[in-house]
Amino acid sequence: MNLAELQRIYATPLFDLIERARATFLSHWKKGEVQLCTLLSIKTGGCSEDCAYCAQSARYRTGVRAERLLKTDDVLAVARRARENGSTRFCMGAAWKGVRDGNARFEQVLEIVRAVSQLGMEVCVTLGQLGLSEARKLKEAGVTAYNHNIDTSEEYYSKIVTTHSYSDRLDTIGAVQQADISICCGGIVGMGETELDRLKMLETLTNFDPPPESVPINCLMPMPGTPLENQSPIDVFELVRLIATTRIVLPEAKVRLSAGRARLSKEAQALCLFAGVNSIFYGDKLLTADNPGLDHDRELLSALDLAAQPPFASSQ
């Protein structure tokens, strides 16, 4: 889809936009279901990259300590608990620039994936840059989705990250698609970008072939010590507008309200869910940042009469 068309949809009067997004949602997805995902940082901190939003970059004094890759049994224990709590997708993140075939740490990740994939949940990993041979090995081991965000527009990306480029990100996404793994790709809002930057990001996402299976929309968690620590939160109606537009232009994608729910009221989250969100991270921690706890989310889902989506649900 081109930018002009996206701008036209985005500029629709807000209630008309939400109505259209809701209609799109209802014609593609089962009403009342939301996918619950659990996130685990399997390798925290000490990252070589300089992403201005990230508490795990070794370049900023954020208080996040560099840790070693978790052991398979420890990851399995968390994954089992996630499944018991109703999660149908288990996402593992590593604070690396990327992975390379043949490295001991990559072999260890493959072992973790092989073990977790026996549990019947969708298995997503986010390990940074990779090529086709790494992607094929991950697929063989049981990865069902790879998260690699483009984060913002190409122009704004270079103001946020200098240690790798937007086209590096797109190359990784191409390799993952070639290995027939679903792509989970979205971005962050509230980093000082314009609404136009957000629409340019959406333009890029709609032109993926195939389009992303899921689109995480992260509201910046301003992490102490990072260059973006003092950013003020995005206006909630701008967020809802972006979510509704995403739902309309990517009707078959899971739209995941990812980081930042801890700073949104339950009314704001309800509006996001009505406007097209059908996936959330469940559990009190994201990678290093806070997320609403299980009890809070159980209450919210019950108040909104929403139930957990089964694993591997796709639009009808």
Applying CB under 6 A, which residues contact ligand DTB? 39, 55, 91, 93, 126, 147, 149, 186, 216, 218, 221, 258-259, 286-289
Pairing of strands 279-281, 254-257: parallel
Tell me the three state secondary structure of residue 8: helix
304: exposed, middle or buried (C-beta count within 10 Å: 0-12, 13-18, 19+)? middle
User: Is residue 279 a contact point for ligand SF4 (CB under 6 A)?
Assistant: no
Length of the chain: 316
CB nearer ligand DTB, residue 185 or residue 273: 185
Which residues contact ligand SAM by CB under 6 A? 53-54, 93, 95-96, 126, 128, 148-149, 151, 188, 218, 220-221, 223, 259, 287, 289
Smaller CB distance to ligand SAM: residue 129 or 245? 129
Rounded to whole angstroms, the Cα distance separating 277 from 257 reads 6
Q: Residue 73 Cβ, how far from ligand DTB at the closest point, in Å?
A: 22
Among ligand SF4, ligand DTB, ligand SAM, none, the one that 57 touches (CB under a kind-dependent 5 to 8 A) is: ligand SF4
The residue among 110 and 259 lying less far from ligand SAM, judged by its C-beta, is 259
Choose the catalytic residue: 51, 185, 219, 272: 51
* Rounded-to-integer distance, Cα 24 and Cα 249, Å: 9
- The SS3 assignment for 254 reads strand
37, 89 Cβ separation under 8 angstroms: yes
φ/ψ (deg, to 5) at 43: -150, 110
- The catalytic position among 20, 37, 89, 91 is 91
Residues serving a catalytic function are 47, 51, 54, 91, 124, 184, 256
